Structure 1
Amino acid sequence: MSWRILYVDDEPDLREVAQISLELDPELVVRCSASGAEAIEALPDWRPDLVLLDVMMPEMDGPATLERIRQSPGGGPPVVFITARAGDNDAARLMALGAAGVIGKPFDPLQLAVQVRRYLES
Structure 2
Amino acid sequence: MGIVFFLIGLPEFKKSPKLTKEAKKNITYIMSTLLTLVVFMVIISWNIRASGDLMLAGPLTPPMKLLWGQKVLTLGLLEGLWAVVSLKWLLPFFFDPLNLNKKQILVVVSGIVFSVASGIYAMLEAN
The answer to whether TM tops 0.5 is no
Higher RCO (CA < 8 A, seq sep 6+) = 2
Bigger Rg, structure 1 or 2:
2
- TM normalised by structure 1 equals 0.25
**TM-score computed with the length of structure 2 as normaliser:** 0.24
Higher relative helix content: 2
